[in-house]
């Protein structure tokens, strides 16, 4: 059966006919999400600060700062202020990207 895009857009179901719940999704919670090589952990300024600061100083990654609305940080104090604000934020909710092999935070992200 062929369906027009306009039919799908006005229908309260997916293209395969299953109902779609139009209510908002639940907000993400502060929880650990385990992967094969990394874990997403609730961002903690104390637990993740040292490894994230060290990762932020890697000269090989300097160009990444061109695409971020913050940083690069001139010193650890300014980095810690920014990290503490992110750790306390609920929206966006930030996670540390922790390498499972080393236990070090290699990055962070928010959603």
> For the chain, what percent of residues have pLDDT higher than 90?
71
In SS3 terms, 31-56 reads as CCEECCCEEEEECCHHHHHHHHHHHH
Averaged pLDDT for residues 6-22 = 65
Question: Measuring CA to CA, which residue among 103, 104, 98 is closest to residue 42?
Answer: 98
Q: What is the pTM of this model?
A: 0.77
Averaged pLDDT for residues 74-99 = 97
Predicted pLDDT at 1: 52
pLDDT over 60 (residue 5): no
Show the domains of the chain with their CATH numbers.
26-110 (3.40.630.30)
């Amino acid at each position: 059966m062929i369906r027009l895009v306009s039919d799908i857009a006005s229908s309260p179901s997916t293209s395969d006919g299953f109902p779609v719940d139009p209510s908002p999704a639940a907000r993400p919670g502060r929880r650990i999400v385990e992967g094969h090589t990394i874990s997403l952990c609730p961002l903690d300024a104390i637990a993740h600060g040292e490894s994230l600061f060290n990762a932020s100083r890697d000269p090989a990654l300097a160009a990444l700062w061109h695409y971020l609305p913050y940083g690069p940080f001139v010193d650890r104090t300014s980095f810690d202020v920014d990290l503490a604000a992110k750790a306390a934020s609920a929206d966006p909710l930030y996670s540390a990207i922790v390498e499972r092999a080393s236990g070090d935070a290699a990055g962070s992200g928010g959603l």
